[in-house]
Amino acid sequence: MAFSGGIRLTDLNDYIMPGQECIKPVKANKSGQQADGSTIRVGQEGDYYEVTKDGEETKLEKASITLNDCLACSGCVTSAETVLITMQSHHELLSVLDENRQLHESGNGEKVKYVVVTVAPQVVASLSLKYQLSPLSVTKRMTSTLKAMGVSQVVDSAFSRDLTLAESAREFVERFRKSEGKLHGEQSGALPMLASWCPGWVCYAEKTHAEVLPWMSTTKSPQQAMGSVVKDYLAKKLQLNPDRIYHVAVMMCYDKKLEASRNDFYSDIYRTRDVDCVITTGEFDRLLSETATLLSTASEAPLDSLFKVQEPGQEHLYSSAGTSAGGGLEYILSYAAHELFDVVISSEEVAKAGLGEMQHPFLQAKAVRNQADHREITLLDPNTKKPLLVFATVYGFRHLQNLVRKLKSGRSVYHYVEVAACPSACSNGGGQIQPDDPSPAAKKQWVAETERIYRTAADKFQLPEKNDMLGKLIYDWFGTEGLDSAAARQILHTEFHGVAAEVNPLGVSW
């Protein structure tokens, strides 16, 4: 089969289906007169004009495709990584910083935007591998470099990940108790609970498998949780309207741009998004090149608050146990074991058992069909050794599609599934830095080393409830009720929307 030159295929394991057709640009002007017998004329500037039989000309509006259009249309040409993205690049960040400088120079400092950049730990791991620097050094050099460009504050998505881990665990326990542990309920908030931090998976589910949406966790991803922290909590602390803050996220995946562009994360009151711009690891690296900045020689700066560190200014990064998918499975299983069955087991033990690095009397772990991207971890009753909870990781669309088939047929035995669209999870995100050697073996080794750096980046693991700064933020933000408050439930959760197919992919001519 010969594909159109406009279609780009990359890793077929992350490819959903052959391209269909883009239906968004088709526009019909129904308010005017019927244009029977009219013709189309192309002007010298490339504009299009509709010419009626009487010679009357009407300039036709140019159609444009935005990220929202792509999310709302099931006729996508390629996988999300190949979408042409407007207003979501490092050039946009440079433009905002340049505008801030001009406002300062013209004496209009009151119009300057407060620029916040959130950095994901998966990004740090990728840059650490390329530049052969420690993750802590990379983080400090990124902070120094961005502030030299005019950024006001640099924060860590591992900090907001603690917030989402805590809320996701609470959500799972609530669902389990509500459903009495029974699987395949059809109402919203039923079991199994499917992780929803991966926007590629969310977009796929909304477009093609709306039946699974009631099982999706409604807790926001770390990126969007930090968006709420920045545009709500931090804005109030700084006494700024949310639209006076420009929030950039440096992420490992192009799909994170799609996530930031969802209408669910847009404020109609202030006409601003929780995350204004997402740039990938590779784009950040290009930003360094285009600004003649060398990360290898950049100075190190102290880390700002809202970093997952022992104390602000200390030389110790903390992390969460688990893979680069975020550690949701490990923490939720540990939390649920204690809350539901009074079984004490740490998330570190779950992580090590899941990867085959240790044996645990209360855990049973296996790789399904010897596939590292599809693992099952079962919590056993300490007395009877019968299964209490069955969790799984499903990375890559090959395994993801098998999961969906089992879910729709009622054959899935999982209570919770950690889902990532990319094989090997987020260390292999489409926006990560790639090795110079394009061979599959070199790519596999590169991803494995990035994952190793990610898992060993921190001096030690830290549970969300042990993050003192997070605890202070939660009660300062939501009041004495903390995460039990109505405000927390509203701010930290989102919704999903099934999309009805508008074109038949099998009926499209290539």
Nearest-angstrom CA–CA distance, 157 and 300: 19
> How far apart, in whole angstroms, are the C-alpha atoms of residue 333 and residue 353?
12
- Residue 71 in 3-state DSSP? helix
What are the residues facing 416 on neighbouring strands? 193, 391
How many CB atoms sit inside 10 A of residue 17's CB? 12
- Give the DSSP H/E element, type plus range, for residue 396: none
Record the pTM: 0.83
- 298: buried, middle or exposed (CB in 10 Å: 19+, 13-18, 0-12)? buried
Q: State mean pLDDT over 409-435.
A: 94
Tokens of 381: 């009753």
Q: Which residue, 353, 350, 389, 355, is CA-closest to 372?
A: 355
Amino acid occupying residue 43: G
Distance CA 472, CA 466 (A): 11
Question: Tokens representing 472?
Answer: 């202070």
pLDDT in tens, 460-479: 778 888 888 899 999 999 99
Q: Find the mean pLDDT for residues 363-379.
A: 92
pLDDT in tens, 130-183: 999 999 999 999 999 999 999 999 999 989 999 999 999 999 999 999 998 888
CA 465, CA 124: separation in Å to the nearest integer? 24
3-state secondary structure of 389: strand
Question: How many Å apart are CA 203 and CA 257, to the nearest integer?
Answer: 12
Mean pLDDT of 359-377: 92
